[in-house]
Structure 1
Amino acid sequence: MRGSEITNYLKEDSFMLECTLRLVKPVCVDARSKIVIVAPSDFYRSALYQQFMQFWITGKGADVAFKVSGEKITAHKKVLAMRSPVFRAQFFGPMIDSKSDCIKIEDMNPDVFRLMLQFVYTDSLPLQEEFSVEMAQHLLAAADRYGLERLKLICEEKLSANIDVETAATTLVLAEQHNCEQLKEICLHFVTSREKLQAVMASDGFSHLMESCPSIMKDLLGKLDSERRS
C-alpha cells in the first residue's frame, strides 16, 4: 500500500485494526474427569481430504510396499513423508535407502500398521468405541515410533478414558516408555488414590510395572506423599 493510500485511513494521526483471533488448544487434561481431551481435526474440511481418502481406499499410484509380519500393505511415499518425520527421513533424507520400495516390519501387527496408515491419510480413526484399549496401546507405540504426535494424543485420550484397576499399571508403563506426561500423571493419580492402590498393586500389570520401569517407584512414592498431605 502506497503512502498516499495509507493517509486515507488515518484519523487524527491514528487508525484502528480489527482482528479476529482463534485460540487453538489441541490437547488438555480435564481436571475433574482426569481424561486427556484432543480437539477435533479440521483436515476433513480441506480440499485434500477427499483426495487423500481416495488414495487410501483405492491404493492407486502406490509406490512403496511394507511387509508387516508377512502381510503386504502398500502406500504412497509422499503422503507418508508429509505426515511423518520418520518416513520423510527414510524416503527422502540423506540416509535414503535405495531398496526402500519394499520394507520389512517384523515387530508390529498388520492391523495396527494399517490403522496407523488410515490415520496418516485421513487424520482420523474409527470412533473411540470402535477400537479396543489393546489396539490403542499398540497404536500409541506405533505413533511414537513414527513421530505421529496427534495420533499419540488420540491414543492417550482413549487410554485415559478407560483406566481401571486392571489397566492402570500397564497404561502407566506405556506412558513412561513413550514420554506421555499427561497420561502418566493421570495414571499416577489413579494408582495412588486410597481406594484403588491395594487393588492395583495386586494386579498382574503392577508386577510388570515394577519389572519394566523400576524407576517409576520414585514417582509413585512422591505422588503418594502428595496425596497423603492433601
Structure 2
Amino acid sequence: MSRLRLMSKAAGGRVAASFACRLVDPNQSGLGDSPDQISSASFHRYDFHDVYLVRRSELEVRAVLLGEPKNAVASDAGPPPSVPSSDLHRQFGELLRSQKGADVTFHVSGESVPAHRSVLATRSPVFMAQLYGHTKEASTSAPCMEVKDMEAEVFRAMLRFIYTDTAPELERSGWQVTAMAQHLLETMDRYGLERLKRMCEEKVSMDISVSNVTTTLALAEQHGCAKLKANCIEFILAAPKNLFALAATEGKEEKEEMKS
C-alpha cells in the first residue's frame, strides 16, 4: 500500500494531486515490468489517499486458491431478464369487462351497469360514503343504485377510468372526444375524481374555439376549473378578431332565441 498525505495548508482550502506508483523488484535492475498505478485525489490539510499494489503472481495464486464463486454467472450468459411492465390496469379492466364478482348495479339512462363496490369505494370518496357510509350496511345481495342526469356511455367511461386509471376516450381527436370530455367534466365533482377532472380540463382546453369558448368558460366557472377558465380568457384576448367573432356569434344566438 502506498499513501499520499497533504502536510501544508492548501491555498483555497483544497489541492488536487495526481501520482503514480510501481512495484520494484530489488533483485532486478531498473524499475521492473510492474505497471504504473496512477491515482488522483483532492485534499484538505492532513488528508491522505491510499493506493493498493499487489504483484501479478500473488493475484494468480489467490485466484487458484479461491476458485470460482458458486453463484458465478457465465460471462456469455447475456444481460439479466428485464422486469415485465405492470399490467395491473389491464387486469382490473378485465374485471370490469367480465363483471365477475360484481356486487352493485347502477341504473343509468335505462341501462344496467354492474360494478364492484370495493373498487369504487377505494377510488372515490363519494362512492365510499354512498356504499359504505354510516347509514349503509354491508349486504350479501347486490344493491341497485340509480344515477340521474348522466348518459350511460359517460358513466361507463368514468368506470373505466376508476378501474384502470386511463381514459382512452380522451386519447383521440375530434368534436366527439371534446364533447365526451365536457360531459365527464360535468360529472366529476359528483364523485371526487380529481385526476380525471384534470385530464378532461386539459382535453377541453386544446379545442377552444370561437363557437364554444362561451360555453366552455361557463363550464369552467361552474366547476372551478381555474386553468380552463384562464385558457378561455387568453383565447378571447389573444386577437381582436376573436372578440369580433365572439360578439357576432352571441348576436346571432340572441336573434335565433327571439325568433323561437
TM over 0.5: yes
| 94-103 or 134-143: bigger deviation | 94-103
Note closer, same or farther for the CA distance 1:168–1:61 as it changes in structure 2 (3 Å cut): same
Letter in 2 for 1:134: A
State the shift of 1:195 in Å. Answer: 2.4
Letter in 1 for 2:194: E
Mapping of residues 29-44 of structure 1, within 5 Å: none
1:121 is aligned to: 163
Note closer, same or farther for the CA distance 1:206–1:148 as it changes in structure 2 (3 Å cut): farther
1:185 is aligned to: 230
State the shift of 1:203 in Å. Answer: 2.6
Note closer, same or farther for the CA distance 1:206–1:143 as it changes in structure 2 (3 Å cut): farther
1:60 is aligned to: 100
1:137 is aligned to: 182
Q: Quote the Cα distance in structure 1 between the aligned partners of 2:105 and 2:156.
A: 12
Deviations 1:75-106 (A, max 9, x none): 00111111111101111122337898101112
1:195 is aligned to: 241
1:219 is aligned to: none
Higher relative contact order (CA 8 A, sep 6+): 1
Q: How much is the aligned-residue C-alpha RMSD, in angstroms?
A: 2.5
**Structure of larger gyration radius:** 2
State the shift of 1:206 in Å. Answer: 10
Q: Quote the Cα distance in structure 2 between the aligned partners of 1:95 and 1:206.
A: 51
2:154 is aligned to: 112
Q: Percent identity?
A: 48
After the TM superposition, list the runs of 4 or more consecutive aligned residues in structure 1 that deviate by more than 6 angstroms: 97-100, 205-208
Whether 1:172 and 2:217 are equivalent positions in the alignment is: yes
Q: TM-score, normalised by structure 1?
A: 0.65
Q: Paired residue for 1:78, among 118, 121, 138?
A: 118
Q: Which runs of 5+ in 2 are unaligned?
A: 1-84, 255-260
Q: Which runs of 5+ in 1 are unaligned?
A: 1-44, 209-230
Paired residues in the alignment total 164
Q: Quote the Cα distance in structure 2 between the aligned partners of 1:97 and 1:163.
A: 46
Q: Is the 8 A contact 1:83 1:120 kept in 2?
A: yes
1:29 is aligned to: none
2:42 is aligned to: none
Letter in 1 for 2:248: A
State the shift of 1:51 in Å. Answer: 2.7
Q: Quote the Cα distance in structure 2 between the aligned partners of 1:95 and 1:207.
A: 48
State the shift of 1:129 in Å. Answer: 2.1
